[in-house]
Amino acid sequence: MKICEKCFNDPSLILYIRQNGVDGICDVTNEETKVIDTVDLSDSFDSFISSFVESNEGVPFYSKIQRDWNIFNEQYGRIIFDALLKERESALTLDTSVDYSDKIKHAVRDWNMLKDNLINKYRYLSIRDWKNETYYNEAFAVHASTINRDTILYRSRINDKNSEIPFKKDEMSAPPQKVATAGRANPQGIAFLYLSNNVETTFYEIRAVYLDNVSTGVFKALDDIKIVDFTKYGSPFDTIYSESGVQSGIISEFIAKEISEDLSRPMRRHDSVVDYVPTQFICEYIKYVADAKGIAFGSSLYDTGVNYVIFDPSNFECQDDVQIHRINKVIIEE
């Protein structure tokens, strides 16, 4: 079967067709465009399909892969995936209830096991018994991104004694090392710069309440910097996974999602600083092993919010226009 990029939502498969397709007519869309034969995807989909097993407690196969990976254009997906299954003479059908193989589920649990080690067993040498760092390294490579020079991000602080005078710009950056408290990304005594993509997100992230006066600084990137972006869509078909295989891509992407959820989880009043140790560990690993200068992750407090942690605060400079805001409305929902 000849298929084209319009058959897919997956960016890695779309790119593959653009780079390797030949002029022809798509058997699914009937459009004249760049096409490939489904046989050309054999290696990738052999590995992908073998990542699932029949399970009475599972989800229909096609529904599961679309929910988890959004691979196909929904208009054509069932036709194409049915053809791919039949070409492989798979015992599984579009509607067979499936779950991931034990190998994948066990590997994905690695993040929870690592967290338990870091919190409850041995903190500073946990990496010695870390068996699956390859999955993390590949995921961080897939999620690599760049904050471009002159990018604008924001940071807010609640004013002392509810003062109506904004903080000075040199007071808006990360705190001095000696007073830096532990956060979700930084250990106590190590100052990272926490920024957001819009002003509203900063209000939620600092837990501003009704009638608080808040200072907001505008921060500009002084140069291009590499980050690991956990808001970025990751595909198990990414070329970075070509050597280790699609199954490795599935594991790596699930681990990245779990790390992202832990980074996004709101800090609660009763949290212990020990609860932050796993995400502090992974940020330090990203800093020194992935050679990144920061991370990005979605805000769980504001729908359109993206939070950034910059490991070296000197990569951003606060501009002169620190603004004062008064919080006049707070919405709390169950």
pLDDT tens figures, 75-114? 999 999 999 999 989 999 999 999 999 999 998 888 888 8
Q: What is the pLDDT of residue 59?
A: 96
CB contact set of 184 (below 8 Å; sequence gap of 6+): 263, 265, 267, 276, 279, 280
| Number of continuous H segments (helices) and E segments (strands) in the chain | 10, 14
Q: Is 159 helix (H, G, I), strand (E, B) or coil?
A: coil
Residues 6+ apart with CB under 8 A from 15: none
In this prediction, residue 29 carries a pLDDT of 96
User: Could you give the CA distance from residue 173 to residue 324 in angstroms, rounded to a whole number?
Assistant: 16
Per-residue pLDDT, averaged over 305-323, amounts to 96
Mean pLDDT of 299-319: 95
Dist CA 204 CA 72 (whole Å): 36
280-302 pLDDT per residue, tens? 999 999 999 899 999 999 998 88
Please provide the average confidence, as pLDDT, over all residues in the chain.
Answer: 92
What average pLDDT does the segment 265-278 reach? 78
Q: Is the pLDDT of residue 130 over 90?
A: no
How far apart are the C-alpha atoms of 334 and 320, rounded to whole Å? 39
Supply 277's token pair.
Answer: 């140790």
| Residue 123 confidence (pLDDT) above 90 | no
213, 313, 317 from 170: Cα distances, Å: 18, 12, 9
Q: Say what the pLDDT of residue 75 is.
A: 96
What ranges in 89-221 are assigned the alpha helix state H? Answer: 102-108, 110-116, 133-142, 199-205
